[in-house]
Amino acid sequence: MTWLLPLAVILPLAGAGVTLVASRRPRVQRVISVGVLATQLLVELTMLLQVTANGTMVMHVGGWTAPFGITLVADELAAFMLVVSSIVALTVLIYAISQGMADESETPETPVSIFHPTFLILATGVTNAFLAGDLFNLFVSFEILLTASYVLLTIGGTRERLRAGAPYIVVSLLSSLIFLAAIAMIYAATGTVNMADLSVKLPQVAPGIVATLQAMLLVAFGVKAAVFPMSAWLPDSYPSAPAPATAVFAGLLTKVGIYAIIRVQTLLFPPGSFGTLLMIAALLTMLVGILGAIAQSGIKRILSFTLVSHIGYMLFGIALASETGLGAAIYYVAHHILVQAALFLGAGMIERVAGTTVLARVGGLAAAAPVLAILFFIPAMNLAGVPPLSGFLGKVGLFEAGVQDGRVLALILVAGGALTSLLTLYAIVRVWGRAFWRPVPEVMDPEDERDALQTESGRPLAVRRRAQQEARRRVASEEAARLPIGMVGATTAIVAIGLLLTFAAGPIYALTDQAAANLMDRSVYVDAVLDAGIPAPPGASGQGSGP
């Protein structure tokens, strides 16, 4: 069944090619991209079942054996991440199609026919990253998904999106350069880029060099995962993108960074190395992120900051380097992918119903759009970690692992995590209270305030403007009744799957714990890759892999 591995990568890539050719036929594009992603999800579900039943699946592409060729590897972690990411990609695609972003343009010159191919290429990159068995293939997958994300972030090429996209692109380019430089040095030190092979060979390298290599990789992945000192780009760039793009970025891109950190920390480097540093970074990511969220006044910005903040929880689990910590971190990654994507989709619908996501100007949505209110409320509470939802279960798992660890820093992190959780509740309830509970705001926007100051001269203007606004609101609330069924359906699906993580927490936790156990015991991965059916060539153990 190892042919499933390349199939999962090839499907969206081929789909991207076909949709690009069919760029003048939006209906064909839609059918192909939904079909491709749905098939991919089925392939990945089969893969997950296979992996849990028979152990790690390995495919040497083109028959080149392990340390030389390109290896695709699916262990429990990779297969689980693939399934969750495909669910998000598929639901977000349906949402985007329904929103009409893919077929009707926002500005006249928007080249929207490229949306489907780009989205599928993004899916290809994400899939390939989870399956990559060597560092260079991981680098290539990062480039595939990043290049697609540059296009999605600046789609339409408006002034605002170019401005928001520029820092993201420059920061991503820099992190890619660091990653590639790290690969060059790793190759110079060991003569291989295959991760299983590196796991065997890196311990023979001088510890100082290994620490340097590890630091470079952690910086490169830390930028992608938005870990604190390297996280400033995220809240700056995400809010301007179209809602579906933001949702899929928030769900997947940062998590690919987290996945890469998990992979190199558990497979390549000495267990628990850089633990203290990672814990401090995790603490700062949580606190700085959530304090940023509290200071914001727009829904999408608040959500972007909570995204950064909750990356800290996952990093905490990784830094503990224990089986319970890792298991909880993996569960938390899955929970956070689903919840954060659902919230951004919800924010997109708020924007559609109310015309804005600025907190001062939205209100009364609970009455205007009750379905939306429920769809936003559930993931919001889930994010904050209100029991019995999956956010709570994930956090409890992490705190348990932290207390088990017993180091002072770990205990401080447990306290910091609890504090962050409460502050998240505060931030997200503020959104809920303002946007949904309170009546349509009487607060005037800055233009009105300025008009109101010059009452005598400006009165007619202010009155007229208020009347216009009333009219706009009426239109908006009528619009609210007609949220496209696909948008509501897609968001409902993702919220429901998020709830499934709660109801099926037992089996899923068992799965993530098993994944963590296999990560902690490197020999599972290494043996699977290095003696997968094909006998290792005689020269495989030597330094320098030149023939």
Partner 1 sequence: MTSNLVLALTIGALFACGIYLMLSRNLIRVLLGFLLAGHAVNLLLLASGTGGVPPIVGQAKDGEAMADPIPQALILTSIVIGLAVSTFLLAMAYRNYQVTKEPEIPEELEDSEYAGSDPSGGDE
Q: Does 138 bind partner 1 (CB under 8 A)?
A: no
Interacting residues of 460 by C-beta distance below 8 A, sequence separation 6+? none
Of the residues 126, 132, 151, 333, which one makes contact with partner 1 according to CB under 8 A: 151
- Report cis status (omega within 30 of 0) of the bond before 388: yes
Interacting residues of 88 by C-beta distance below 8 A, sequence separation 6+? 247, 248, 251, 252, 337, 338, 341, 494
Compute φ and ψ for 466, nearest 5 degrees. -65, -40
Name the one range near partner 1 by CB under 8 A: 28-36, 256-264, 291-299, 497-505.
291-299
Which positions from 174 to 193 touch partner 1 by CB under 8 A, shown as an x/- string?
x--x--xx-xxx-xx----x
- Binding footprint of partner 1, residue count (CB under 8 A): 53
Which of these, 316, 184, 293, lies nearest to 239 by C-alpha position?
293
Q: How far is the CB of 410 from partner 1 (least distance, A)?
A: 36
Give the chain's end-to-end CA distance (angstroms, integer). 31
Of the residues 301, 310, 336, 434, which one makes contact with partner 1 according to CB under 8 A: 301
Of the residues 23, 39, 105, 147, which one makes contact with partner 1 according to CB under 8 A: 147
Q: Which helix (H) or strand (E) holds 60?
A: strand 57-60
- Report cis status (omega within 30 of 0) of the bond before 117: no
Of the two residues 66 and 88, which places its CB atom closer to partner 1 in the complex?
Answer: 66
Of the two residues 116 and 301, which places its CB atom closer to partner 1 in the complex?
Answer: 301
Of the two residues 163 and 407, which places its CB atom closer to partner 1 in the complex?
Answer: 163
Q: How far is the CB of 134 from partner 1 (least distance, A)?
A: 11
User: CB of 175 within 8 A of CB of 224?
Assistant: yes
Token pair of 501 as six digits? 């993580």
Q: Does 246 bind partner 1 (CB under 8 A)?
A: no
Where do we find the tokens 């060597």?
134
Which of these, 403, 387, 396, lies nearest to 502 by C-alpha position?
387
Q: SS3 for 537?
A: coil
Q: How far is the CB of 147 from partner 1 (least distance, A)?
A: 6
Q: What own/partner pairs with CB < 8 Å and gap ≥ 24 does 437-441 have? A: 437/366, 438/363, 438/364, 439/363, 439/364, 440/363, 440/364, 440/473, 441/360, 441/361, 441/362, 441/363
Q: Does 449 bind partner 1 (CB under 8 A)?
A: yes
| 354-383 binders of partner 1 (CB under 8 A) | 356-358, 360-361
Of the residues 158, 273, 477, 502, which one makes contact with partner 1 according to CB under 8 A: 158
Bridge-based pairing state of the strands 57-60 and 71-74 = antiparallel
Q: Does 546 bind partner 1 (CB under 8 A)?
A: yes
Q: Does 215 bind partner 1 (CB under 8 A)?
A: no
Q: Does 292 bind partner 1 (CB under 8 A)?
A: no
Q: How far is the CB of 159 from partner 1 (least distance, A)?
A: 5
Of the residues 37, 169, 287, 321, which one makes contact with partner 1 according to CB under 8 A: 169
Of the two residues 6 and 191, which places its CB atom closer to partner 1 in the complex?
Answer: 191
Q: How far is the CB of 447 from partner 1 (least distance, A)?
A: 6
The C-alpha R_g of the chain, in whole angstroms, comes to 24
Q: Does 11 bind partner 1 (CB under 8 A)?
A: no
How many residues belong to the chain?
547
Q: Does 236 bind partner 1 (CB under 8 A)?
A: yes
Of the residues 106, 447, 470, 521, which one makes contact with partner 1 according to CB under 8 A: 447
User: CB of 397 within 8 A of CB of 374?
Assistant: no
**Rounded CA separation 295/465 (Å):** 29
Residue 460's CB: how many other CB atoms inside 10 A? 9
Q: CA dist 332 to 9, 70, 124, 267, 433, Å?
A: 25, 30, 23, 20, 26
Q: Does 499 bind partner 1 (CB under 8 A)?
A: no
**Rounded CA separation 529/523 (Å):** 10
Q: SS3 for 297?
A: coil
Name the one range near partner 1 by CB under 8 A: 25-33, 48-56, 164-172, 312-320.
164-172
Q: How far is the CB of 72 from partner 1 (least distance, A)?
A: 17
Q: Does 201 bind partner 1 (CB under 8 A)?
A: no
Q: Does 38 bind partner 1 (CB under 8 A)?
A: no
Of the residues 160, 470, 478, 521, which one makes contact with partner 1 according to CB under 8 A: 160
Q: How far is the CB of 302 from partner 1 (least distance, A)?
A: 9
Residues that bind partner 1 (CB under 8 A): 68, 136, 140, 143, 147, 150-151, 154, 157-160, 162-166, 169-170, 173-174, 177, 180-181, 183-185, 187-188, 193, 236, 239-240, 296-301, 356-358, 360-361, 445-447, 449-450, 544-547
